[in-house]
Every structure is written in structure tokens, then in C-alpha cells.
Amino acid sequence: MSVLHHVPASRSFRILWLLHEMGLPVRLKTYRIGDGSLRDPGFLALSPAGRVPALEIDGKVLFESAAITQYLCETRPLSGLAPGPDAPERVPFLQWLSYAETQASLLADLNLQMVFLRPPAQPSPAVVKLQVARLRASLAPLETHLKQQDWLLESGFSAADTMLGYNLFAVPYFVDLAPFDNLQAYIGRIEARPAYKAARAMDGPQAFYDKPFYPVPEGA
């Protein structure tokens, strides 16, 4: 059985969800950001930057969610969750995998500024304003794309959706999704998936956010 090193509601959820989409069994080893558990030498030996996800599977240890996603898709091609190297949709698939991390890095900045900083450190209103604007801008092409199709790839649901779809559950803490009808419909389709529901049931409650929305601080 695989072991997923996991923080509830973090980027390791992408892998938890993908494993459920593939029907692969998984055991969770759960950590908490900020309590030092991710800096333990035993964990750093698995994931050198002290980040989740790390996945133990097939006698290997992998870190980085996009790499794990690609590995799982390549070693389990019958799952049909990624186009092969010569398939016409290979390029958009790879692009959306990386786009998910471009967007997640904006979320990580906002989490750091608005959620994880502790007094006397204060968030920078200018940086938060800029990163919120960049996050909103990263949603616009998705909104247009998902007007024409249900999933990121025209052919249907894929592991690009587990990578990028995950982000959209963190975005509403910083950007109001009300004007993004197609993204809201996409989120609804995700939430209806049995594998998503099963993964959420295993995920556990998020421990980052203590309010539903974090506005840009005064002074920007």
C-alpha cells in the first residue's frame, strides 16, 4: 500500500484525490505546518524541502505534486488520466500541470502573508494587493477555457484537473469567485465526483484558515 505524507487541505490533497480516481489504496501520514514536523530529519530525508506531498509507492519515494502526478499516470496508463507522449492533448496536459503550480505559488504567497505570519510581523498590503491581482488574472483564462468544455482537456477529466482543480478550493479565501460562472460550475462538477468526495472524507479538516475571506489589508 502507498503512504502519502500529507497536510489536510494542502497540495498533497491533489495526490490523495488522484489516488482515489485511480482506485489505488493509500495510507496517510499526517503533518501540521508550523509544529516542526515537516522539518524533522526523518521527513527531510523523504522530501528535502520539507514539503508535502511526498509519496512512498512502488518501492520509491517521490516528492513534488506534478512529478508524482506524472509518475502515477505513466505507470498506470490504464487509468486513462493523462494523454501519452504522442497524443494530441499531451501539450495542453503538461501546460495545465505547470500552470497549476504557477497559480499555487500565488496562493502560497498569500497564505504566508495573510495566514502564517505571526506578530510582530505584518503582511505587506502592497504585496498582498499585487498577488491577489495576479491570482485573479490567472483565473481569467480558465474562465474562458471552461466555457467551451467541462474539463481542462477537451477529451474529458484528467490528472490536470486534480492538479489545478485543487487550487480552486483555496482561491475563494482571497478572490471572490462570484463573477466566474464557469469556474463555479467546474467546482460543482469536481464536487460531484465520487473519488473527490471519498478523498475529501479521508483528508480531514483544514487547519489553515480561520475565516471565510481575507481582504487586502488597509494601506495598499
Ligand X SMILES: N[C@@H](CCC(=O)N[C@@H](CS)C(=O)NCC(=O)O)C(=O)O
- Cβ proximity to ligand X: between 70 and 158 the closer is 70
Q: State the Cα–Cα distance between residues 46 and 42, nearest whole angstrom.
A: 7
- Cβ proximity to ligand X: between 7 and 146 the closer is 7
SS3 28: strand
Rounded to the nearest whole angstrom, what is the least distance from the CB of residue 214 to ligand X in the complex?
Answer: 16
- Cβ proximity to ligand X: between 44 and 140 the closer is 44
Q: Which cell numbers hold the place of 56?
A: 512512498
- The residues of the shown chain that bind ligand X, judged by CB under 6 A, are 7, 10-11, 33, 38, 50-53, 64-66, 101
- Cβ proximity to ligand X: between 170 and 195 the closer is 170
Rounded to the nearest whole angstrom, what is the least distance from the CB of residue 139 to ligand X in the complex?
Answer: 19
Phi, psi of 13 (to 5 degrees): -60, -30
Rounded to the nearest whole angstrom, what is the least distance from the CB of residue 51 to ligand X in the complex?
Answer: 3
Maximal CA-CA distance, the chain: 53
Q: State the Cα–Cα distance between residues 177 and 213, nearest whole angstrom.
A: 11
* DSSP H helical ranges for 149-192: 159-167, 181-191
Residue type, 22: M
**Cβ atoms of 199 and 169 closer than 8 Å:** no
Q: Which cell numbers hold the place of 23?
A: 482506485
- Cβ proximity to ligand X: between 50 and 80 the closer is 50
Q: Which helix (H) or strand (E) holds 75?
A: helix 65-75
Rounded to the nearest whole angstrom, what is the least distance from the CB of residue 217 to ligand X in the complex?
Answer: 22
Rounded to the nearest whole angstrom, what is the least distance from the CB of residue 38 to ligand X in the complex?
Answer: 5
